[in-house]
Amino acid sequence: VQLVESGGGSVQAGGSLRLSCAASGYRGSSYCMGWIRQDPGKEREAVAIIDSAGSTSYADSVKGRFTISQDNGKNTLLLEMNSLRVQDTAMYYCASTTPWGGNCHLLSARNFGYWGQGTQVTVSS
């Protein structure tokens, strides 16, 4: 499995960014995918998760502001980020599990076995 993120950058508070992740190498369809962020000195946080049926879940810190989606035809995972806050500053990683038959929305960051290289998001005040 290969995951390649793009779309990070710098934005002022209140602004928006869209992250993309090109995914390849999957066999089958029962994977959980998500966006995970990490700021130096803080624990990794799974901010948004989507399962193979398209159901989504979000960390409380981003609910109502971030939207995760996937374009299966293009094998692309997206994260729309609106109303960005300084606290959203972090390295954002696209991540996936190995084939998973359980509830994706109960997973934490450490359950994801495949990671992209990350893309930096910096929000300034």
Q: Residue 30's pLDDT band (boundaries 50, 70, 90)? A: confident
pLDDT digits (tens, 9 = 90+) for 92-112: 999 999 888 889 999 999 999
- Residue 21: Cβ within 10 Å count: 25
Q: 24-27: which pairs have CB atoms within 8 A and are 24 or more residues apart?
A: 24/75, 25/1, 26/1, 26/75, 26/96, 27/99
Pairing of strands 90-96, 33-38: antiparallel
For residue 107, which phi and psi values (nearest 5 degrees)? -80, 155
In eight-state DSSP terms, residue 98 is: S
Taking a C-beta distance cutoff of 8 angstroms, is the pair 13, 124 a contact?
A: yes
Q: Residue 31's pLDDT band (boundaries 50, 70, 90)? A: confident
Rounded Cα–Cα distance for residues 115 and 28 (Å): 18
9: left (phi > 0), else alpha (psi -120 to 50), else beta? left
